[in-house]
Structure 1
């Protein structure tokens, strides 16, 4: 059985233009895909393609106009929204904005446990320390504040916050964009290890085709809210069908060749 199955998901957003009275409508979809536990689905596209909006629909931050989302065969809707909050967790792109500078990391990690579990104080501390070790940090980091961490450590805290409720799926929106190459490599390896150890499903949103090719099993290519092409990663990279996909792959390959020369 598929861990996640999405059927004909659509969304419509209408906003007023800053420079005129005209309304601008952005239509997303229809989007359909599926993947199993332990697999990674990458969503690729330029800025404004709708990939981050799709992520928000999956975690329940936005409500689709139409379509269905299933987890392990059960439809996710308003009646079981708590299930989605627990089972699908998100890592946001900008960790500085998502981590409260006035709270210790322990307090940040404890908040979802207070809201969603019946663990007592000592049990919460034990789980926080275990999760910190899972992401390669020290238990003492629970006493730290955001400003005391490097960019790579902040990303690990964001990952710890996503992991602490033992989800089935993690949606990662450009999680490595702000990291330098060496730290990025460590973060990618950590994600892949956690996926192997925990059997997680990953939805990975990125413009970095090198990482996408390295970690994903399936790829969705998006442009202007539409799915241009989708399929297994090897097929998309080796035999792209759509011209837009070909340009993305060719640009990536040209960059790789320059780096190797």
Structure 2
């Protein structure tokens, strides 16, 4: 099977001035990987390792210094094309929803900007997408304050799905959720992946969830790709000292909680 997403030698380099006048330089060394339809790739690493930057490069929020992103073997040079094909699930669902707009208006905006659907077709697409994430068509008339935490997270997923993407990128999507909502959201995403054949790139500090949902893992340290492989292999036979430290810290936390 041909890969859904191919990332070849993707890199980033930028110098910024800090508040104290010093130059801060962050470099993401060339990263390459492939993602199949229906597969989940997790990206592990400490704060500042480059995980979130890699996510921004994939969805087009940041521009790489070099490298190429292919979808089904075709280059994604066009920013609009990438915006539709690779979509981001926002971490803080509440803050990402405009309190002055109904859910229908929030979901309609990307359809107006990126499709040729008329008003009736847009309404039908909104209702279909709400049903897809376990909500009712009537929820399109709700405002942010009328939703539970779990419903807001489902809306965040609906916004990512509304343009029929082939790849979803989620940067710490469960960090702010309580355990019950987190579990519901994980199950929802896994069901959507099975039903729609989505490729899923998942960034999280929660190694328990990483181990549960991912097929393969990339490990980043200070912008360097230090290790990659199947999830079970990474957790059971890590090659680098850095990966071993990450996994040991997770296992120590589990033992303490028990």
Q: TM-score, normalised by structure 2?
A: 0.96
Partner of 1:126: 124
Partner of 1:160: 158
Q: CA deviation at 1:151?
A: 2.0
Render the CA deviation track for 1:214-258: whole Å, top value 9, x for unaligned.
001110111111112111111100100111100111121222233
User: Of 185, 188, 192, which residue of structure 1 is paired with 2:186?
Assistant: 188
Partner of 1:250: 248
Q: CA deviation at 1:17?
A: 1.7
Render the CA deviation track for 1:35-77: whole Å, top value 9, x for unaligned.
1000000011121111111111001111100111111111221
Render the CA deviation track for 1:53-102: whole Å, top value 9, x for unaligned.
1111001111100111111111221xx32221111111121223321111
Partner of 2:237: 239
- Distance in 2 (CA, whole Å) between partners of 1:152 and 1:89 is 20
Query: What is the number of equivalent residue pairs in this alignment?
Result: 257
Partner of 2:24: 24
Partner of 1:151: 149
For residue 94 of structure 2, give the secondary structure of its aligned residue in structure 1. Answer: helix
Alpha-carbon RMSD: 1.1
Q: CA deviation at 1:197?
A: 0.2
- Distance in 1 (CA, whole Å) between partners of 2:147 and 2:53 is 29
- Distance in 2 (CA, whole Å) between partners of 1:148 and 1:14 is 43
Gaps of 5+ in 2: none
- Distance in 2 (CA, whole Å) between partners of 1:13 and 1:139 is 45
- Distance in 1 (CA, whole Å) between partners of 2:207 and 2:62 is 27
Partner of 2:92: 94
Partner of 2:49: 49
For residue 48 of structure 1, give the secondary structure of its aligned residue in structure 2. Answer: coil
**Contact 1:151–1:178 (Cα < 8 Å) also in 2:** no
Gaps of 5+ in 1: none
Query: Are residues 1:38 and 2:48 paired?
Result: no
Q: TM-score, normalised by structure 1?
A: 0.95
- Distance in 2 (CA, whole Å) between partners of 1:157 and 1:130 is 13
